[in-house]
Amino acid sequence: MYAILDSFAVPPAKNTNDVLLTDWLLPLLPYFPGGNGPCNFDRVFVGSFQRNDVPAGMPQDWDPYYDGMLSTKYRGNMLARQKAIAQQFNNMVANSTNPNVQWDWYINQENSLDYSLSDPNVTNGELQFIVQQIIDFNSIRKDRVFLWSPWFTYHPSDFPVGSQEYKDLTTNLKKLFTQIPKQVAPYNAYGNNSGGPLWISLQDHVGSESTDPAFNRTGAAQWFNYLKANFSFKNLTMNVELFLDPTDPNASPSPAPCQEIYDREQFYVQQGINLGPTFELRYWDTCNHL
């Protein structure tokens, strides 16, 4: 069983006074691979946090996944802060009662893959961000896997096979997925001959788009198969979202119905899709508690 651990720093504020939540993190270390707990995850992917608030002077529709990737300032600020928190986490583990636990890394800047069609520079920004994050985190803990969990915002029917939109999207993403392993190869030795250190767990986006019945498990499977057919990944899985987005923008997500989750997971498995870590454990517990 794999787990993703992120959003473990506070505030995080708009400034750079990010603080590690050690009281929450230390009790989890025994369950890491190599920990002294009663059971252990097979892999734990450690991220940091991401800020989604609108920077001063920006319009309210500013999007960290789109506009943020176009902004050198935003990318540089987040990279520096995330590296600092990752270093704090590494130091905390070294000084804990479980100093020998193992973990890999998670890239918090998740992003929508089809944004690259609106502006190829979004792809360039993603490429620069991910490459630099792998280099940064590799300097803290070497030669580990990096898990990234992006999604597609639009339905596959918006990109018919053979259309110019389909060709442009594929061209932009091919640049992203071929350049990442090539550019990080001198820094990260994991899987140099097998696609590099980047693993992909595609968010099915069914929970995030639960207010839009047009986006469903069939579309998610089509996007998964698109990635599988067009790009080479060492590890490609589906991130089954376990929540439902509220219709009220001020409300919090709620757990998805258990039977719907089971049916969706079974549908993916029947399509030959491997399941990966899911968002999130607090919703998983609703249907799987002992």
pLDDT digits (tens, 9 = 90+) for 214-240: 678 999 999 999 999 999 898 999 999
DSSP 8-state secondary structure symbol assigned to residue 121: H
Please, is 82 exposed, middle or buried when counting C-beta atoms within 10 Å of its C-beta (0-12, 13-18, 19+)? buried
Predicted structure pTM score: 0.91
Residue-averaged pLDDT of the chain:
87
If one counts the domains in the chain, the total is 1
Of 227, 246, 230, the closest CA to residue 238 belongs to 227
pLDDT digits (tens, 9 = 90+) for 240-252: 988 887 666 676 7
Instruction: State in Å, rounded, how far the first CA of the chain is from the last one.
Output: 17
> What is the rounded distance in angstroms from the CA atom of residue 144 to the CA atom of residue 179?
18
Please count the other Cβ atoms lying within 10 Å of the Cβ belonging to residue 80: 12
Instruction: Provide the domain limits for residue 25.
Output: 2-288
* Sheet bearing 146-148, strands edge to edge: 2-5, 43-46, 104-107, 146-148, 198-203, 236-239
- Does position 12 have pLDDT exceeding 60, yes or no? no
CATH code: domain of residue 72: 3.20.20
Of 81, 15, 93, 13, the closest CA to residue 48 belongs to 81
